[in-house]
Structure 1
Amino acid sequence: MTDLSPLTLQTPAEHPFAQFVRILGKGKRGSRGLDRSEARAAMGMLLDQQVEAAQVGAFLMLLRNKEESPEELAGFTDALRERLQVPALAVDIDWPSYAGKRRHLPWYLLAAKCLANNGLRIFIHGGGAHTAGRLYTEQLLEPLGISLCRDWPAVAAALDQHGLAFAPLQDWAPVLQQMIEMRNILGLRSPIHSLARILNPLGAKCGLQSIFHPGYQAVHRDASGLLGDTAIVVKGDGGEIEINPDSPSHLYGTQGGVSWDEEWPALAAQRHVKPASLDPALLLAVWHGEATDSYGELAVVATMALALRGLGQPKEQAFAAAQSYWSARHLSR
């Protein structure tokens, strides 16, 4: 006689991370953003590699499509900071460098170098050459005499000796670096590209952030405010922290949880002609006074002024100090 009793089926348990994908992707009416605690929990699972590859891609692209909120960015940063084991280092400026330059040389590196020569302690971090056709900070460290630091003791030593250190994201947050490198798989940049700019892993006195896409600057400023950080967010040239002297700049600042805004006019009377090619040798030639570059030198001074503004100097004082530093750079090398 045939046994017609129902089969016993095992329903697979839902993956713990699935809830976060569902929150973001449950359709026009059912989806919503993550609150700060949810974002912290989700990023914690990502950093602890407790997530399937398909979930990572889905999560990142749903976030990108929705556009991340200040609460999400703050929660993601909370998760990373909870997992970092960093020494107590005095740092004045956190300087994320993740975009690379394609229209102009990375003049911001001369700004950072000049500020460091005048007593500021600057921590630069970046995410490698993830997009073809761009010139990245990592490619210019050696010729500019900027220390490449592969661990925190090396960062501490470089800051003490030179006031300037660069550490690849790969060495202190490898999972985030892996997600950045998914760009060529997913076809789009993920929110990790912008998240990296807000991390301020060493708790610098001021974090500078360059966010290229309109509308995101205020979001990042608000996220830094939620974290209790002092920060200035600008639309830097090419996505790097560099003031474009040919265009007005809007500064989105936060300090002590209070937001402020400031407009800086263009510095050049007329727009400069974009160089036909990028020759990194020009950076050193200008640094040593062997060549001049109107666009580059205006960008350097204004970018230094931006950092000094972030440390509390009024705009006019910041520009005066920046110009003085630049004029005397050959004395402080």
Structure 2
Amino acid sequence: MQHKLETAEDGAAEHPFAPFLRTLGRGPGRSRALTREEALAALRMVLRGEADPHQVGAFLMLLRYRGEDPDEIAGLVEAAREAAGCGTAPGVPVELDWPSYGAGRTRGAPWFLLAALALGRAGHRVLMHGSNEFSSGMPVTEALARLGLRPADDRADAARMLETVGFAYLPLRVLSPGLDRLLGLRALLGLRSPVNTVARLLDPFDARASVDGVFHPPYIALHLAAAERLRRPRLLVVKGGGGEAERTPLKPVTAHLFDHALGHREIVLPATSREGSRSTTDDIIAVWRGEAEGVALATVLATLALALLALGSVATASEADARAVEIWRRREAM
């Protein structure tokens, strides 16, 4: 049953966006989450510049305060995808969508990037998109520069990179400037908003699988439920380092999978390294060249195995770990 947005009781003229705020912000027992259709219409107005800036701030904080709802998130994602031109053919099929929006305050280098690069060299086209504006660690763009690589300039450039090297990084500011501005409001509002969840679920090139990381475990079920409503083919979510799709090798991790054909299941991933092997290196070039090991390399390999499970190209955690080692050893030859 669909809910109708209310109109002002006194009949006075009001801004067209106001009913969305009233629906979200009325008193206890009277407010509710937006339906999927309402959320789509609301964020569509925001991204078109049809809402007042005061309304935008109130909208984001009301969504946060109420708690994120799967139907609501699905509608927001649909609006964001529409504004960003997602779903249009990129020219090449993408196998793995890899969002990177972590804001960890204790992380260093983005070891997950090396896993994605190695996977791309192995013939699996990987599109990474994101923003690391609120992370204290090394941004993906800086890591790419150290490796002699660059982010994509636009969707067409990303498609060319996918075709030639199997990997592309598309910054959110290029993919969707409007959504990037909303994400940036965190510095003004002081709090994360549901835009972070929306950006992670964009899937710009309609990949056949996605791997995602969250910082807070309750968001795992939210991401999976939204993906199911959006009829995504396959999504693997893990509580990762700094909120990234990065698997720690030092302790067991549970990966949560939604497959449109097979449903939901959990995959328990064992620890692959001991505390005694901990390394403090942040030299991403040395690790890529095989000149440094320790926990940095173990993290890369564990994350590479996670991506293989997301793709569904291996059946078990042990098979994924073995295949990850093989891909890593062959990365230069490939």
| Aligned equivalent of 1:3 | none
Q: Is the 8 A contact 1:147 1:158 kept in 2?
A: no
**What are the residue-to-residue correspondences of 1:255-270 with 2, within 5 Å?**
255-256=259-260, 258-270=263-275
- SS of the residue corresponding to residue 158 of structure 1 reads helix
CA distance in 2 between partners of 1:109 and 1:130 (Å): 18
1:96 aligns with 2:99: yes
Q: Give the aligned residue type for 2:333.
A: L
| Aligned equivalent of 1:184 | 187
| Aligned equivalent of 1:328 | 330
**What are the residue-to-residue correspondences of 1:223-242 with 2, within 5 Å?**
223-229=226-232, 230-242=234-246
Q: Is the 8 A contact 2:141 2:150 kept in 1?
A: no
CA distance in 2 between partners of 1:310 and 1:113 (Å): 16
In the TM superposition, what is the alpha-carbon distance from 1:193 to its structure 2 partner?
A: 1.4
CA distance in 1 between partners of 2:140 and 2:155 (Å): 19
1:121 aligns with 2:122: no
**What are the residue-to-residue correspondences of 1:21-32 with 2, within 5 Å?**
21-32=21-32
In the TM superposition, what is the alpha-carbon distance from 1:59 to its structure 2 partner?
A: 0.8
TM-score under structure 2 length normalisation: 0.89
| Aligned equivalent of 1:20 | 20
**Stretches of structure 1 lacking an aligned partner (at least 5 in a row):** 1-9
| Aligned equivalent of 1:7 | none
| Aligned equivalent of 1:6 | none
Q: Is the 8 A contact 1:236 1:243 kept in 2?
A: yes
In the TM superposition, what is the alpha-carbon distance from 1:203 to its structure 2 partner?
A: 0.3
Q: Give the aligned residue type for 2:200.
A: R
1:161 aligns with 2:164: yes
CA distance in 2 between partners of 1:331 and 1:224 (Å): 36
**CA RMSD for the aligned pairs?**
1.9
**What are the residue-to-residue correspondences of 1:38-187 with 2, within 5 Å?**
38-85=38-85, 86-88=88-90, 89-100=92-103, 102-131=106-135, 133-187=136-190
In the TM superposition, what is the alpha-carbon distance from 1:129 to its structure 2 partner?
A: 1.9
Q: Give the aligned residue type for 2:288.
A: W
Q: Is the 8 A contact 1:121 1:164 kept in 2?
A: yes
Q: Give the aligned residue type for 1:322.
A: A
CA distance in 2 between partners of 1:158 and 1:190 (Å): 31
State the number of aligned residues. 317
- For residues 41-94 of structure 1, the C-alpha deviation after alignment (integer angstroms, 9 at most, x for no partner) is 111111111111111111111111121111111111111223343334310111
| Aligned equivalent of 1:196 | 199
**Stretches of structure 2 lacking an aligned partner (at least 5 in a row):** 1-9
| Aligned equivalent of 1:319 | 321
Identity among equivalent positions (%) equals 38
CA distance in 1 between partners of 2:27 and 2:243 (Å): 32
In the TM superposition, what is the alpha-carbon distance from 1:137 to its structure 2 partner?
A: 0.7
1:96/1:25 CA distance change after superposition, 3 Å: same
1:208/1:249 CA distance change after superposition, 3 Å: same
- For residues 76-119 of structure 1, the C-alpha deviation after alignment (integer angstroms, 9 at most, x for no partner) is 11112233433343101111111255334211111011111100
CA distance in 1 between partners of 2:93 and 2:142 (Å): 26
